[in-house]
Amino acid sequence: MQLAENAPLAPYTTIGLGGPARYLAECAGSDDVQEALGLAREQHLPVQVMGGGSNLIFPDAGFPGVVLRVASRGIAFRDERDGVAVTAAAGEPWDGLVAESVRRDLAGLECLSGIPGTVGGTPIQNVGAYGQDIAGTLVSATCLARDTLEPVTFTNADCGFGYRSSRFKREDRDRYVVTEVTYRLRRGGGPELRYPELATAVSARREPLTVRLVRETVLALRRGKAMVLNPGDPNTRSVGSFFLNPVLSPAAFAEVEQRWRAGGGTAPIPTFRAGAGIKVPAAWLVERAGFRKGQRTGGAGISSRHALALVNFGGTTAELLALAREIEQAVEQRFGVRLEREPVVVEETVKSEK
């Protein structure tokens, strides 16, 4: 384990915010993870697990404990009767795994191209985009229990997946550190296009439908929204979408429609089916609540290309979160909908390891 004291955290996050960590532990494997957790327990320090830093926002004061950065590597493909199993270490860059799977003409991850972060974060968030999510391919997630320091393996059914959620984000939050994940992919391509925007863009290419074509199209769509990391584009200094698309009951959606009409809205509200619920684009709610792409408040602002991306323009975490609260309050006042944040916002006051 590589251990650094008073290490700056901002360079390790895509949004570039946060003060120093008391300790930053670089963990290349399970033994390192156990050592870092043991250090935190001995000194009664809080722990924050970090992968690629694409979904984390640290406070300006920093973190008073151990930031455990999972940096393990390794990918193994294995032929099976019903497909190909791929097992990847938690510290592997996610898009690298997607790219290699597409290169091998394996279907199941192609719509998740261009998403920053590491493999270890995918089961926690049930990462998804353009009609695919991790729940559709994950076989198992191997973790280290933070209380016992023992390995535990969860099957797909064990993970309790929901929309951008899992047991690791809900009832078991901060109980486990993901160490490796196994997915099952399909041989020979055959991508399924479930998302209208992607299907239209793929069709416009007028090429045979392959996982390679889908990956290229997804990357182009994400670049157009500044959702692919690019040091030359200040809009990508973010955590991607800051808010989840709310899934409403029919009754709750009827109230949104009523508020929209009462305020003079005439165009239909865009929606997507989500089981028994109705999914409403959070970006649509944000813009109709009075916010615009490219808007700035101090050192924080909204991406000029996507209304859901809050961007650090050389400001502070306090400025960014103040803008987030302003947006949340405006959407709730206008539509009666409380937006849910997608990134992990690390609190300044945190519990210590015992």
Strand partners, 75: 88
What is d(CA 87, CA 78) in angstroms, rounded to the nearest whole number? 8
Closest CA to 252 of 271, 237, 235, 265: 271
What is d(CA 16, CA 311) in angstroms, rounded to the nearest whole number? 10
Same domain, 32 and 135: no
Indicate if the alpha-carbon torsion angle 311, 340, 116, 347 is positive or negative. Answer: positive
Phi, psi of 91 (to 5 degrees): -85, 0
Same domain, 156 and 192: yes
Range of the domain at 206: 75-224
Domain boundary among 224, 245, 270: 224
Same domain, 116 and 193: yes
Give the list of residues 6+ apart from residue 234 with CB closer than 8 angstroms, or none: 311, 313
Same domain, 55 and 7: yes
Same domain, 212 and 101: yes
What is d(CA 318, CA 59) in angstroms, rounded to the nearest whole number? 7
Tell me which of 30, 72, 140, 241 is the catalytic residue.
Answer: 241
Domain count, the chain: 3
Closest CA to 150 of 121, 130, 179, 123: 179
pLDDT of the residue at 82: 87
Surface-to-core class of residue 327, CB atoms within 10 Å of its CB (0-12 exposed, 13-18 middle, 19+ buried): buried
Same domain, 219 and 282: no
Tell me which of 164, 184, 288, 334 is the catalytic residue.
Answer: 164
pTM, entire model? 0.91
Tell me which of 257, 326, 340, 342 is the catalytic residue.
Answer: 342
Phi, psi of 288 (to 5 degrees): -75, -10
* Kind of pairing between the strands at 106-107 and 132-133: unpaired
Give the list of residues 6+ apart from residue 329 with CB closer than 8 angstroms, or none: none
Query: Does 202 map to a domain?
Result: yes
Query: Does 229 map to a domain?
Result: no
Domain boundary among 224, 244, 271: 224
Domain boundary among 194, 224, 254: 224
Give the list of residues 6+ apart from residue 73 with CB closer than 8 angstroms, or none: 28, 89, 91, 92
Query: Does 24 map to a domain?
Result: yes
Same domain, 246 and 326: yes
Helix orientation angle between 317-335 and 250-262, rounded to the nearest 10 degrees: 90
What is d(CA 151, CA 295) in angstroms, rounded to the nearest whole number? 46
CATH number, domain with residue 333? 3.90.78.10
Distance, CA of 313 to chain centre = 21
Same domain, 190 and 87: yes
Same domain, 43 and 87: no
For tokens 């926002």, the residue is 57
Give the pair of three-digit tokens for residue 158.
């064990």
First-residue to last-residue Cα distance in the chain:
21
pLDDT of the residue at 190: 76
If phi > 0 it is left, if psi is from -120 to 50 it is alpha, else beta; for residue 82 that is alpha
Regions in the chain scoring below 70 on pLDDT: 189, 348-354
Measured from the Cβ of residue 100, the count of other Cβ atoms closer than 10 Å reads 16
What would the DSSP string read from start to end of 160-184? Answer: --BTTB-TTTTTTTTTEEEEEEEEE
- Active-site residue 164, yes or no? yes
Same domain, 153 and 286: no
Query: Does 242 map to a domain?
Result: yes
Residue type, 292: R
pLDDT of the residue at 141: 98
Query: Does 353 map to a domain?
Result: no
What is d(CA 253, CA 249) in angstroms, rounded to the nearest whole number? 6
Same domain, 242 and 332: yes
Same domain, 27 and 165: no
pLDDT of the residue at 308: 96
H or E stretch including 85? strand 83-89
Closest CA to 285 of 255, 261, 308, 315: 308
Give the list of residues 6+ apart from residue 96 with CB closer than 8 angstroms, or none: none
Query: Does 140 map to a domain?
Result: yes
CATH number, domain with residue 62? 3.30.43.10
- Active-site residue 241, yes or no? yes
The SS3 of residue 316 is coil
Tens of pLDDT, residues 59-90? 999 999 999 999 999 999 999 988 999 999 99
What is d(CA 341, CA 115) in angstroms, rounded to the nearest whole number? 17
CATH number, domain with residue 141? 3.30.465.10
On whether the CB atoms of residues 117 and 194 are closer than 8 A, the answer is no
Query: Does 351 map to a domain?
Result: no
- Active-site residue 342, yes or no? yes
Query: Does 201 map to a domain?
Result: yes
